[in-house]
Amino acid sequence: MLSCPSCQSKSIKLNGHIHNGKQNHLCKDCGRQFVVNPENKVISKQEKALIDKLLLEKISLAGIARTMEVSEVWLQGYISDLYASCPEDLCATLPDQSAMDAYLEDKFDKYIYEILPLKKTLIRLSLLHHGRILRHLMVN
C-alpha cells in the first residue's frame, strides 16, 4: 500500500506518467506528486553528506545520480525534501512542493546552478557545511 512521502496519507491516486514513462502519483490530502522509487535502496548518512557536497559543485543532477549510484527518482525526492525543509525566508517563490518533482525531472541534465529555485537550497546547504567546518575547527 502506497503512502505519501510528505504526509504519509494512504489516499493516493494515479496521476498520469512523467516524461520517461514512470507512473506518477498524487496525494489527495496534501497534493504532493511523487514517483515511487523502485529500488528501495537505503542511502547511508555518509552518502547523503557526500551528495550534499556534490550538490555544491558544478555538476548536473544526472551526474550526481550516476556518480553516487542512486536513482534519479531518489535524488529528486531528496532535493524536494531539502527544498521543503528550507526556512521560509530562503524559499524562492516557485515552484511549490507539489510541482517540484516534475520541475526537477525536466532539469535533470542541467548544471545545478542553472536550476534557479535550487540556488536558495544550495546557499542553505553551504551555510550548513560552513557551520560544520566551524564547529570542527573549534573542537580541535
When binding is defined by CB under 5 A, the residue of 2, 15, 18, 29 that contacts Zn ion is 29
Question: Which amino acid is residue 118, in one-letter code?
Answer: L
Q: Which is nearer to Zn ion, 29 or 52 (CB)?
A: 29
From the list 13-21, 31-39, 75-83, 105-113, the region that binds Zn ion by CB under 5 A is: 31-39
3-class DSSP state of 34: strand
Which residue in 89, 88, 92, 138 sits closest to 115, CA to CA? 92
- Does position 25 bind Zn ion by CB under 5 A? no
Q: Please list every residue from 33 through 92 that binds Zn ion, using CB under 5 A.
A: none
When binding is defined by CB under 5 A, the residue of 25, 32, 105, 115 that contacts Zn ion is 32
d(CA 106, CA 42): 25
- Does position 100 bind Zn ion by CB under 5 A? no
Contact 18, 24 (CB under 8 A): yes
- Does position 97 bind Zn ion by CB under 5 A? no
Q: Which is nearer to Zn ion, 79 or 125 (CB)?
A: 79
- Does position 9 bind Zn ion by CB under 5 A? yes
d(CA 127, CA 122): 8
Residues in contact with Zn ion, total (CB under 5 A)? 8
From the list 27-35, 43-51, 72-80, 109-117, the region that binds Zn ion by CB under 5 A is: 27-35
Query: Which residues of this chain interact with Zn ion, rule CB under 5 A?
Result: 4, 6-7, 9, 27, 29-30, 32
